């Protein structure tokens, strides 16, 4: 049916109503009154289109012209817009519409005369909607009453695989046979059913296994087999060398030309040309160097350097303080009486402390006080001593034995002489650390030993032997010295040969006016007790740190001196009170075969002192060339030169000889007497406020007396490396360095206030060629070690020769002076006598004249002295 | 050997301790010292000469090393290099 456009008043109405009619309205109103009744063409304004979402070309297009509108919405629109609504003319139809949704179709071709038409009846809607749907198959509208189509299977196209499928399929060729077995039984009997396992042997199940029938065989025509490609795998390992190879050693030889080659080259023309061309240059250079050395250092060649800088040196380059040793426990309130360097162990120094006792009211209290010690200090530990030696009383002087540095002899305040043996601690002392573990001497006691060490305690060593009280000195022993191992002394003081080649004898002196000689060996008289003692001593006893070494057990408390030397005064009665003494060191000039043998034996083995006996005087050879005279410095400042050999008087009693000379050079105590290490007959003494130099054999007096200083001199020592230098310590703690070649009237260096109190002892030591140390001890218990600078330790050229010349000169001067004095004394005597004879009346004028003459002569002498000294 | 006559004016100089003639590779040809010292001197000085020569030529390619003197505390070593050989003379200085 052809839709016809209706000449509708609605169209007009819509044109009238709304001016804006979207889209192209065909202007030619075709008069088509025919249209089916259920199609109602309608015009929708833009607003309505938007309202119902059926805008042309947006919601509703050519391809999808259908729009279902809800009936309620239309009714609502009619209500709201009343007559203006586009749906007004169809109001009735809409209200009557049975279904909820009305189909609105966009009429593109204007088949019914309007752009839209409304389908009024559901049948028409169904008809139109469904008919018009199929030509547009791409519109897939999911409608509620639409049935989804299931995909239909396509017809199967055979490709020839049916045959194979048929072949493979298993079909029954015949019908299955069925057999029925039954057993007749009477009904009614009870029945028993049970299970039975078919695998059990009891059950009689019959199997029909398959078997290969030999009557007939089937040839296998075709066999199915499967193939799989497998890659061939092979696993193997390899290891690279991790170590980087490098050469450890290479040995090579220099390349050399064969003889033939050499000859060939040598005879070649090339070489000749070369030599010819090169020779002039070389000759030129050779002559140049020969003529003059352009590289000489003129300044160096002058030889000033450090040696001649004595005059140039600044005061600042003096003694440098290296170490200060104090020990709070023992040094408080104590002064150092004596200092000694260990002769062999470098860096070890021993210090003896004595207590300052202002009041000596109660001597017994001295024993209640803490015991005195000799303290060993070692570099570089400044506060922990290495070893302590326990002493019965304050030690005023001590010394190491020169042949065995483990034996130490000391003199006490109470006059006793004490011996120590530190061989047990010797390895410990040599270690750099006080706690270092050295090869143990004691095997079983290492535990206690280690325990002590771990506690960081300084080992304490008790004294081995002490002299008997009756035979000791009565006043403090102020000087102790070992006799050198070259000779020994008998009971009468006669020096004899020392067969044992070790130092066995000690000399002590004390202000009780005696000098005693002691011997370390077992005296002859105790032979009967030797058998017992021998057994005691022969046992090798294990040493514990607290036990006393038995080295000198034979001397303990029974030690008596060999003999005593008393010092009677020469012109008056009374005796000298020696403070210090000085022996001449004797070096054995004649060595017999016996001596050298002994030397070899004894040198390695430390002697057992208890085994040694004092030989009888007759067996030993007397040494006549030993100088038995020695110098003594006394309490009053006198220097006495006497002989220690005991002489016999008419009653064959031994007595000491009168001194050979005595000089009162010093004003007060003589505190140092020391021989020069370079000249064995030159002696330095200090005491009071000056020092003096003596030459042995010169009886006239000291060959040189230093000027008096304002401070008391308390200690002195020669320099060990320079013959002209010596150090003097003063009461105010300063040190003066004297160089006799430079200046004889004053010290060359003056180090003020090195210590705060009186310096009690100065000792030098040479550690190595570059290290010279000076140990300075003071009254407060502090020990300072200084290093001697190069200027003071390296001798100037020919210093010893110059010193010798100096001493000889002084000697000559002294001789001249003495002669002059004699002459002058003689002259005076003569003048006095002649005066007595001639004119006893005019004694005064003559006296005056002679006095004037004296003065003149004296001034002449002074001038002479000055001129010589320059 | 003819070269002795050529070396004699050098050898006759005062203070000469030893003479070594070596080829350009440092292998000694003739020497007045013992073998071990010769070999040592020749090897070491060869390296020194090579270094010095290369130094001079690096600075100025037109230049070349003509003579070298090494002065030590104890003696003086003089080296005269050439294209194919070099001559080493050891001398004690005048004092």
C-alpha distances (whole Å) from A596 to each of A211, A489, A499, B37 are 123, 20, 10, 46
* Nearest-by-Cβ selection for A254 from B39, B67, B89: B39
> Helix or strand or coil: residue A778?
strand
Q: Are A325 and A351 in contact (CB under 8 A)?
A: yes
User: Domain containing B40: what range?
Assistant: 4-89
Confidence of residue B87 (pLDDT cuts 50, 70, 90): very high
Residue A357 has pLDDT above 90, yes or no: no
Q: Do A286 and B15 touch (CB under 8 A)?
A: yes
Residue A432 has pLDDT above 70, yes or no: no
Q: Give the end-to-end CA distance of chain A in Å, rounded to a whole number.
A: 170
C-alpha distances (whole Å) from A861 to each of A665, A703, A820, A848 are 21, 17, 9, 20
Domain count, chain B: 1
* Nearest-by-Cβ selection for B94 from A254, A266, A289: A289
- Higher per-residue confidence, A126 vs A32: A126
Enter the DSSP assignment of A59.
Answer: T
* Nearest-by-Cβ selection for B29 from A254, A262, A279: A262
pLDDT 10s digits, A686-735: 888 888 888 887 777 788 888 888 888 888 888 888 888 888 888 888 88
| Paired residues of A675 in beta bridges | A683
Give the up-direction half-sphere exposure of residue A758: CA atoms within 13 A in the CB hemisphere: 14
Alpha helix positions (H), A530-688: 530-538, 593-604
Confidence of residue A433 (pLDDT cuts 50, 70, 90): very low
Q: Do B76 and A289 touch (CB under 8 A)?
A: yes
C-alpha distances (whole Å) from A389 to each of A341, A422, A462, A667 are 15, 9, 6, 35
Enter the DSSP assignment of A575.
Answer: B
Confidence of residue A355 (pLDDT cuts 50, 70, 90): confident
Does A286 touch chain B if contact means CB atoms closer than 8 Å? Answer: yes
- Judge whether B94 lies within some domain: no
Does A756 touch chain B if contact means CB atoms closer than 8 Å? Answer: no
Closest CA to A101 of A56, A66, A146, A134: A66
- Higher per-residue confidence, A512 vs B20: B20
Residue A364 has pLDDT above 50, yes or no: no
- Judge whether B43 lies within some domain: yes
Q: Do B27 and A257 touch (CB under 8 A)?
A: yes
pLDDT 10s digits, B15-66: 899 999 999 999 999 899 999 999 999 999 999 999 999 999 999 999 999 9
Q: How many other C-beta atoms can be found within 10 angstroms of the C-beta atom of residue A815?
A: 13
* Nearest-by-Cβ selection for A257 from B29, B82, B95: B29
Chain A, chain B: beta-carbon pairs less than 8 Å apart: 89
Closest CA to A117 of A211, A32, A238: A32
What distance in Å separates residue B6's CA from the closest CA in chain A?
Answer: 7
Does A258 touch chain B if contact means CB atoms closer than 8 Å? Answer: no
Q: Do A272 and B2 touch (CB under 8 A)?
A: yes
If you average pLDDT over residues A357-364, what whole number do you get? 47
Q: Do B91 and A289 touch (CB under 8 A)?
A: yes
Range with the largest mean pLDDT of A330-344, A414-428, A577-591, B47-61: B47-61
- Judge whether B52 lies within some domain: yes
> Helix or strand or coil: residue A568?
strand
Pairing status of strand A387-391 against strand A460-461: parallel
Q: Do B29 and A290 touch (CB under 8 A)?
A: no
* Nearest-by-Cβ selection for A281 from B7, B39, B80: B80
Residue A536 CA to residue A725 CA, distance in Å, equals 51
Confidence of residue A450 (pLDDT cuts 50, 70, 90): very low
What distance in Å separates residue B59's CA from the closest CA in chain A?
Answer: 23
Range with the largest mean pLDDT of A26-30, A94-98, A440-444: A94-98
Question: Structure tokens of A626?
Answer: 């030993």
pLDDT number for residue B38: 93
- Judge whether B13 lies within some domain: yes
C-alpha distances (whole Å) from A188 to each of A182, A185, A195 are 16, 9, 22
A2-16, A138-152, A295-309, A699-713: which range is least confident on average? Answer: A2-16
pTM of the shown model: 0.50
pLDDT 10s digits, A475-508: 888 888 888 777 777 777 777 777 777 777 888 8
- Judge whether B95 lies within some domain: no
- Judge whether B34 lies within some domain: yes
What distance in Å separates residue B63's CA from the closest CA in chain A?
Answer: 18
pLDDT number for residue A617: 58
pLDDT number for residue B13: 84
* C-alpha gyration radius of chain A: 70
Question: Which chain A residues have a beta carbon less than 8 Å from that of B3?
Answer: 266, 271-272, 275
Q: Do B6 and A267 touch (CB under 8 A)?
A: no
Q: Do A293 and B94 touch (CB under 8 A)?
A: yes
pLDDT number for residue B79: 93
pLDDT 10s digits, A90-117: 777 777 777 777 777 777 777 777 777 7
Q: How many other C-beta atoms can be found within 10 angstroms of the C-beta atom of residue A91?
A: 15
pLDDT 10s digits, A824-849: 888 888 887 776 665 555 555 556 66
pLDDT number for residue A524: 60
Q: Do B30 and A291 touch (CB under 8 A)?
A: no
Q: Do B82 and A277 touch (CB under 8 A)?
A: yes
Q: Do A287 and B10 touch (CB under 8 A)?
A: no
Strands (DSSP E) along A356-415, which ranges? Answer: 372-378, 387-391, 395-400, 407-412
Residue A730 CA to residue A747 CA, distance in Å, equals 12
If you average pLDDT over residues A535-561, what whole number do you get? 58
- Rounded to the nearest integer, the mean pLDDT of chain A is 73
Closest CA to A778 of A797, A801, A755: A755
pLDDT number for residue A9: 46
Question: Which chain A residues have a beta carbon less than 8 Å from that of B84?
Answer: 270-271, 274
- For residues A462, A464, A469, A474, the Cα torsion angle rounded to the nearest 10 degrees is -70
What distance in Å separates residue A299's CA from the closest CA in chain B?
Answer: 16
pLDDT number for residue B56: 94
ipTM of the complex: 0.85
pLDDT 10s digits, A241-284: 888 888 888 888 888 888 898 888 888 888 888 888 888 889 98
Range with the largest mean pLDDT of A263-272, A552-561, A587-596: A263-272
- Higher per-residue confidence, A870 vs A174: A174
Residue B30 CA to residue B45 CA, distance in Å, equals 15
Angle between helices A843-869 and A799-838 (to 10 degrees): 170
What distance in Å separates residue B27's CA from the closest CA in chain A?
Answer: 6
Question: Which chain B residues have a beta carbon less than 8 Å from that of A286?
Answer: 10, 13, 15-16, 78, 89, 91
What distance in Å separates residue B58's CA from the closest CA in chain A?
Answer: 24
Percentage, residues of chain A above pLDDT 70:
72
* Nearest-by-Cβ selection for A278 from B39, B80, B95: B80
Nearest CA in chain B to A271: B85
- Judge whether B42 lies within some domain: yes
pLDDT number for residue A377: 80
Q: Identify the CATH number of the domain in which residue B19 sits.
A: 3.30.450.30
Angle between helices A269-291 and A259-266 (to 10 degrees): 80
Q: How many other C-beta atoms can be found within 10 angstroms of the C-beta atom of residue A785?
A: 24
């Amino acid at each position: 049916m052809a839709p016809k456009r209706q000449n509708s008043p609605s169209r007009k109405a819509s044109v009238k109503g709304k001016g804006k009619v979207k889209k192209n309205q065909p202007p030619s109103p075709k008069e088509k009154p025919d249209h089916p009744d259920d199609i109602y063409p309608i015009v929708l304004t833009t607003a309505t289109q938007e309202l119902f979402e059926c805008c042309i070309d947006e919601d509703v297009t050519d391809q999808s012209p259908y729009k279902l509108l809800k009936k309620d919405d239309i009714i609502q629109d009619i209500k709201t817009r009343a007559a203006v609504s586009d749906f007004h003319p169809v109001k009735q139809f809409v209200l009557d519409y049975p279904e909820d949704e009305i189909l609105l179709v966009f009429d593109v071709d204007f088949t019914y005369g309007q752009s839209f038409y409304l389908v009024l009846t559901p049948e028409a809607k169904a008809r139109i909607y469904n008919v018009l749907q199929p030509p547009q198959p791409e519109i897939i509208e999911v409608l509620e009453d639409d049935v989804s189509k299931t995909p239909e299977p396509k017809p199967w196209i055979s490709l020839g695989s049916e045959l194979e499928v048929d072949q493979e399929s298993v079909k029954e060729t015949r019908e299955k046979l069925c057999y029925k077995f039954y057993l007749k039984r009477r009904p009614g009997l009870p029945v028993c059913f049970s299970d039975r396992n078919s695998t059990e042997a009891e059950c009689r199940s019959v199997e029909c296994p398959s078997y290969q029938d030999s009557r007939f065989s089937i040839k296998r025509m075709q066999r199915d087999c499967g193939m799989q490609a497998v890659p061939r795998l092979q696993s193997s390992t390899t290891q690279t060398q991790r170590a980087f190879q490098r050469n450890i050693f290479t040995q090579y030889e220099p390349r050399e030309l064969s003889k033939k080659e050499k000859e060939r080259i040598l005879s070649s023309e090339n070489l000749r040309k070369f030599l010819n061309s090169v020779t002039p240059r070389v000759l030129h250079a050779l002559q140049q160097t020969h003529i003059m050395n352009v590289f000489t250092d003129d300044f160096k060649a002058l030889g000033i350097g450090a040696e001649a800088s004595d005059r140039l040196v600044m005061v600042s380059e003096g003694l440098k303080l290296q170490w200060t040793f104090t020990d709070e426990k023992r040094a408080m309130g104590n002064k150092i009486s004596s200092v000694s360097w260990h002769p062999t162990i470098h860096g070890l120094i021993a210090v003896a402390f004595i207590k300052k006792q202002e009041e000596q009211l109660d001597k017994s209290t001295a024993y209640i006080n803490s015991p005195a010690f000799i303290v060993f200090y070692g570099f570089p530990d400044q506060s922990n001593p290495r070893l302590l030696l326990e002493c019965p009383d304050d030690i005023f002087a001590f010394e190491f034995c020169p042949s065995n540095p483990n034996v130490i002899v000391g003199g006490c305040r109470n006059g006793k002489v004490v011996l120590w043996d530190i061989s047990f601690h010797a390895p410990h002392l040599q270690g750099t650390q006080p706690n270092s573990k050295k090869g143990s001497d004691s095997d079983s006691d290492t535990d206690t030993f280690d325990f002590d060490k771990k506690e960081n305690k300084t080992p304490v060593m008790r004294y081995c032997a002490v002299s008997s009280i009756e035979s000791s000195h009565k006043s403090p022993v102020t000087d102790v010295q070992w006799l050198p191992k070259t000779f020994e002394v008998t009971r009468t003081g006669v020096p004899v040969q020392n067969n044992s080649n070790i130092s066995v004898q000690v000399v002590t002196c004390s202000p009780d006016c005696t000098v005693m000689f002691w011997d370390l060996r077992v005296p002859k008289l105790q032979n009967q007790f030797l058998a017992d003692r021998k057994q005691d001593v022969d046992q090798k006893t294990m040493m514990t740190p607290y036990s006393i070494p038995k080295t000198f057990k034979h001397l303990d408390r029974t030690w008596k001196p060999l003999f005593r030397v008393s010092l009677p005064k020469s012109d008056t009665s009374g005796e000298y009170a020696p403070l210090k003494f000085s022996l001449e060191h004797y070096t054995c000039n004649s060595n017999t075969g016996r001596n050298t043998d002994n030397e070899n034996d004894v040198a390695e083995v430390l002697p057992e002192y208890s085994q040694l006996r004092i030989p009888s005087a007759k067996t030993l050879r007397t040494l006549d060339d030993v100088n038995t005279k020695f110098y003594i410095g006394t309490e009053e400042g006198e220097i006495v030169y006497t002989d220690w050999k005991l002489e016999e008087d008419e009653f064959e009693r031994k007595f000491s000889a009168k001194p050979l000379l005595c000089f009162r050079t010093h004003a007060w105590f003589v505190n140092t007497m020391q021989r020069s290490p370079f000249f064995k007959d030159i002696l330095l003494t200090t005491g009071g406020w000056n020092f003096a130099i003596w030459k042995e054999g010169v009886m006239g007096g000291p060959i040189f007396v230093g000027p008096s200083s304002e401070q008391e001199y308390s200690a002195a020592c020669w320099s060990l490396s320079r013959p002209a230098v010596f150090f003097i310590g003063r009461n105010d703690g300063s040190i003066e360095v004297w160089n006799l070649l430079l200046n004889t009237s004053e010290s060359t260096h003056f180090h003020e206030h090195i210590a705060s109190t009186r310096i009690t002892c100065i000792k030098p030591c040479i550690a190595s060629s570059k290290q010279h140390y000076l140990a300075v001890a003071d009254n407060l218990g502090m020990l300072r070690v200084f290093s001697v600078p190069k200027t003071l330790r390296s001798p100037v050229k020919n210093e010893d020769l110059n010193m010798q010349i100096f001493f000889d000169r002084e000697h000559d001067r002294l001789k001249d002076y003495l002669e002059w004095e004699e002459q002058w004394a003689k002259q005076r005597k003569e003048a006095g006598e002649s005066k007595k004879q001639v004119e006893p009346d005019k004694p005064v004028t003559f006296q005056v004249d002679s006095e004037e003459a004296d003065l003149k002569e004296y001034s002449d002498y002074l001038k002479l002295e000055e001129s010589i000294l320059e | 050997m003819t070269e002795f006559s050529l070396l004699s004016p050098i050898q006759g100089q005062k203070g000469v301790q030893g003479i070594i003639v070596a080829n350009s590779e440092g292998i000694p040809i003739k020497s007045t010292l013992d073998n071990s010292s010769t070999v040592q001197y020749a090897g070491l000085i060869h390296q020194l000469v090579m270094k010095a020569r290369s130094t001079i030529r690096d600075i100025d390619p037109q230049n070349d090393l003509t003579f070298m003197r090494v002065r030590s505390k104890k003696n003086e070593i003089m080296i005269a290099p050439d294209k194919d050989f070099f001559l080493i003379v050891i001398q004690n200085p005048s004092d």
